[in-house]
Amino acid sequence: MLDDITRAVLAREEVARYLQGTHGESAQARERIYSYLEELKTTQRYSIYRALKHPLYPILRKIDRHAEGVHHAAAATAAGRVIYASNHRSHIDYLVEPLALDEAEIRPPIMAAGINLFGGPLGLLHRHVTGALPIRRNAKDPAYLITLKAYVAELLTRHDLMFYPEGGRSYSGELKSPKTGLMHAALLAEVDGMVVLPCAIAYDIVLEDFVLARQKVKRSQRPFGRELAEMIRYAVGYRSRAFVSFGAPIRLDVLDPHSKRDVLELSHQTRNAIGRLIKVLPTALVAAALKASIARRELESRVEALIETLAAAGGNMGVTDAREAVESAARAFEARGILVVERGRFRVRERNVLRYYARGLEHLLPAPPGRTH
């Protein structure tokens, strides 16, 4: 038997046209659409979802969580349906961002996540508890793209949605250009009063920093089990702060969902808002200011100049004192084995990891900075 959302998807005009063979595949069209709908099907059981923080305590206790601008999310959800759009730094994002909403007693969104996260017990958890939506990134099959957009459009009539416009995590550390597929699907829903709520997450130390920095560019989709094993390895001694920041909502009722220009402009407007919300933390500042070997006084001077530049650009400053920033970042980076401080001089041990953190500020700078270490 078909559930309500499946029936609604099949009744949508774009899906009906595909089933009628307008793409030349009428014989297999229905089978493929049904297969993708079964794959996308997800259920959120909120009471169990809230209890998940207890078995996840061993990792969550290592992260000091801070939420900002939660009143924006509270007001937006009280007024109607919400699409949360966030940058994507870590697999930990899936835990920290929903908890920021839960702790403010704001209804949880459905999370859009890569399909590689849906294997084994974790897949059962996502499908039947957290309500995560599996996404085949970079898919080219017209049947899949039509089904996905229709499913998201219908989902938004029943739930809020959180997704990452960048697609996957940023392997380079920079805020990537947005992909427009899910944003277009959201606009097609045409839900009255629905808004996009930009949000951002930042960490002093990203759990997967060594893994991501080593690769820099994502070359292939790896099994999540392998990624999880790497995360466990780097979790030894791991401590960090996580800042989740919510911004002002962006209205959708003034946009044409069938206009590619409107979809593209909305995507870039959302990215710019996310970029201004990302917390500027000491580790990013020091990483951007470091040279291969530098004395403390010179480093503090470079960090001070960078703070002034970023504040003038509208950055969400997490520190405004250069000495405090250097002290904090030095402790975190030394504990991580990324740099070493000897006789008042800072020496780089993991150049690629430092560049990963430094690139997290590039979206706020007037021009990409030169390589400083």
> How far is the C-alpha of 312 from the C-alpha of 108, rounded, in Å?
35
Q: How far apart are CA 305 and CA 327, in angstroms?
A: 16
Residue of higher predicted confidence among 75 and 343: 75
47-277 and 280-364 share one fold: no
Tell me what the mean pLDDT of segment 88-113 comes to.
90
Strand partners, 65: 242
In this structure, are residues 72 and 246 in contact, taking their beta carbons and an 8 Å threshold? yes
In the numeric block, the tokens 């390895």 are attached to 233
Q: Give which of 240, 213, 369 is closest to 306, Cα–Cα.
A: 369
Is the C-alpha dihedral spanning 363, 367, 371, 373 positive or negative? Answer: negative
Mean pLDDT, residues 277-306 taken together = 96
Of the candidates 8, 27, 46, 353, which has an alpha carbon nearest to the alpha carbon of residue 208? 353
Domain boundaries, the chain: 47-277, 280-364
Name the nearest CA neighbour of 288 among 170, 173, 171: 173
CB atoms within 10 A of CB 46: 13
Distance from chain centroid for Cα 205: 16
Residue 48 has pLDDT above 50, yes or no: yes
Which 8-state DSSP code applies to residue 339? Answer: E
130 secondary structure, DSSP code:
B
| pTM of the complete model | 0.89
Of 252, 272, 274, 110, nearest to 188 by C-alpha is 252
CA atoms within 13 A on the CB side of 341: 17
With a cut of 90, say whether residue 308 has pLDDT above it: yes
Compute the distance between CA of residue 276 and CA of residue 287 in angstroms, rounded to an integer. 19
**pLDDT of residue 88 exceeding 50:** yes
**DSSP code for 371:** P
> How far is residue 175's CA from residue 170's CA, in Å, rounded to a whole number?
7
Residue range 303-325: mean pLDDT, rounded: 97
pLDDT in tens, 320-335: 999 999 999 999 999 9
Residue 373 banded pLDDT, cuts 50, 70, 90: very low
Q: Topology of domain 47-277, per CATH?
A: Glycerol-3-phosphate (1)-acyltransferase (3.40.1130)
* H-helix or E-strand spanning residue 273: helix 260-277
Distance CA 285, CA 74 (A): 31
pLDDT digits (tens, 9 = 90+) for 193-251: 999 999 999 999 999 999 898 876 555 555 556 666 777 777 778 899 999 999 999 99
- Mean confidence (pLDDT) of the chain: 87
Express each pLDDT in 56-81 by its tens digit: 667 778 899 999 999 999 999 999 99
CATH number listed for the domain at residues 280-364: 1.10.10
